[in-house]
Amino acid sequence: MDKLGLKPGVIYGEDVYKLLSYAKEQGFALPAVNVTSSSTAIATLEAAKEAKSPIILQTSNGGAAFFAGKAISNSNQEASIAGAIAAAHFIRSVAPLYGVPVILHSDHCAKKLLPWLDGMLDADEAFFKEHGTPLFSSHMIDLSEEDLKSNIDTTAKYLKRSAAINLWLEMEVGITGGEEDGVNNEDVDNNSLYTQPEDIWAIYETLSGISKMFSIAAGFGNVHGVYQPGNVKLRPEILGKHQEYVAGKLSQSNDSKPVFFVFHGGSGSSKDEFNKAISYGVVKVNLDTDLQWAYLVGHRDFILTNIDYLKTQVGNPEGAGKPNKKKYDPRVWVRAGEQSMKARVVEALNDFHAAGKL
């Protein structure tokens, strides 16, 4: 990866394209980790540093609002806009210290949340005017619940805006089932979880005429959350058929995998499913539910192990006058959550063959 010339810290524009192209060519994918605080961001960056891998950090609409603070009204998306921007500035400030390239992304933005995306793009444009780069590396627009034409037309409009400031744009077609961040698709028709090659070509044909900087989260049975084995029927081979179809339409191209695909609903999937999806051009895998659990586990285990030191400020099994500050200091128990989450991110980097790429 040295030949790509990527600097540590948040990367933009052509560097994002080079990194994701290299991932597609070399057969690895980057986990995209939803961060809701400086603590979860640090855990993720530390994992990337340890595994010697690039990484993607992203904020969801709800996660961004949480970053700003639950006391702030979000009636006009003001908390989500402010929180996403605050997270971006924080990550930009500390990411270079970890020595890895970082893609800074925003997650699902449905039609009703477009004011959130507009607010982030306003910040990107202002930052670009002053610094020559956008604030974020990329954004996602998710109009998968709309009809295909509306999805493509609106996405094209946002890609034009993004392309003017060297932003990558991810879009979705085919609904991802399950529930995440307040969006519930648990009862959708299973047929809507699987995309058709003609739809992928229609998207690719339109968007590639605007910019090469886009990716497609195409449904192949994906479901958010973690469910009992057998309840989710992933068909990653569908992505291979999509690549064949698009490549066949591009008669003058030698690229057998022209589409950058994204795997949503990755938590709970098997390594074999990840490997197959990556072999068909998946370069980004969203992980949220598994990492929420991993972050909790560190806190839970610390509290259960040290419960007799956490009932009072003074007094524990070592003596009635012994202070407990070294146990209840947030830097101790929050750190326990960071370490357990870090371990799970490192596991994902290994599973997706991204570890050791730096």
Burial class from Cβ neighbours inside 10 Å (0-12, 13-18, 19+) for residue 86 reads middle
Amino acid residing at 343 = A
The H-or-E segment that residue 127 falls in is helix 114-131
306 to 79, 310, 318: CA distances (angstroms): 36, 7, 12
Nearest CA-CA partner of 145 in 123, 177, 168: 177
Nearest CA-CA partner of 309 in 297, 325, 293: 325
Instruction: Judge whether 107 counts as a catalytic residue.
Output: yes
Give the Cα separation of 231 and 78 in Å (integer): 37
Give the Cα separation of 261 and 216 in Å (integer): 5
Q: Which of 15, 107, 142, 351 is catalytic?
A: 107
Give the Cα separation of 61 and 314 in Å (integer): 41
DSSP 288: -
Active site residues: 107
